[in-house]
Amino acid sequence: MASLLFPTRCPVCDDILEPEEIEKGIHLVCESKIYPVQGAVCMHCGKPLASTSKEFCFDCSRLQRNIEQLKSQTAYPNQKIKLHTSSVTQVKSLYLYRGAIKHTMYKFKYSNKREYARFFAKQAVERLGWWLGVESPQPQSFQSTKISPQHTSVRPDIIIPVPMYEPKKRTRGYNQAESFAEELSRLTGIPVDKKLVKRVKDTTPQKSLNPEERKNNLKSAFQIQKNSVQYSHALVVDDIYTTGSTAEAVAQELIKKGVRQVYVLTVCIGGDI
């Protein structure tokens, strides 16, 4: 039954895998056409760093300074300052949004290739199981692509997929972030909540906008469907992380309702890298 629901096709070339390739979930030759996130990454946004001596990328080190400044300002509560900070504690991604995976992501989103979620979730558990607080089933098989553990385990108590605007989802038939969340939940045992956050606005494709416009575009785009939320550590999942404005907008709403920490996991990370 599972194989009927999830035909075992290679997420890069979409050909059916041979029985001995099913465990790996991808052709060896196709695996060489995609770029796993590895080595030193920014402690906040997860983008690869050029230098291993740094903890944060350029943008996030500015953000970090703002947080430090905000903390020091608590002694002077009347002094109003407006600084850019983030509601997201940490972001991790599996692949760089470059090379053959761009086409994979297109199919995952638009061509009903939601079964690729199975491969992505398996990769997430194998490479980021330590971060998610779950045991990796085969820790030895992906040594070369392991993401260096710069941080302790976050142990989320809920997985929340970035929601799609309902009419759009009806037209497309599914939300790829939900497919990823469900597979991740199946492998980790962490429950998924697809109903908590609702997208109440159909937002213009973000890539056509500048950072300021992106933020405005997402203002009040998400709504929490409950008055109080009992989750403590939420893991928001999506397909691609670019500027982070979508994840940030979801995180802001969750924090407002009492979620203590919001982490983000995406299949790909793009942007200026």
Q: Closest separation between CB of residue 51 and Zn ion, Å?
A: 13
Residue of 30, 154, 264, 268 interacting with Zn ion (CB under 5 A): 30
Buried b (16+ CB within 10 A) or exposed e, 27-50: beebbeebbbbbebbbbbbbbbbe
The answer to whether residue 251 forms part of the interface with Zn ion (CB under 5 A) is no
Residue 27 near Zn ion by CB under 5 A: yes
- Residue 42, interface with Zn ion (CB under 5 A)? yes
The residues, ordered by sequence, that sit 6+ positions from 39 with a Cβ below 8 Å of its Cβ are 48, 49, 52, 148
Helix (H) or strand (E) holding 106: helix 101-110
Least separation in angstroms between residue 12's CB and Zn ion is 5
Q: Is 158 in the site for Zn ion (CB under 5 A)?
A: no
Kindly write out the interface string for residues 52-71 of this chain, putting x where it contacts Zn ion by CB under 5 A and - elsewhere: -----x--x-----------
Torsion of CA 270, 39, 138, 44, to 10 degrees: -60
49 belongs to the binding site for Zn ion (CB under 5 A): no
Stretch binding Zn ion (CB under 5 A), from 25-33, 73-81, 195-203, 206-214: 25-33
The minimum distance between CB 243 and Zn ion, in angstroms, equals 11
Nearest to 263 by CA among 47, 45, 56, 42: 45
**Any contact of residue 44 with Zn ion (CB under 5 A)?**
yes
Q: Are strands 158-161 and 197-199 parallel, antiparallel or unpaired?
A: unpaired
Give whichever of 57 and 158 is closer to Zn ion, judged by the CB atom. Answer: 57
Distance CA 139, CA 127 (A): 8
Interaction site with Zn ion (CB under 5 A): 10, 12-13, 27, 30, 42, 44-45, 57, 60
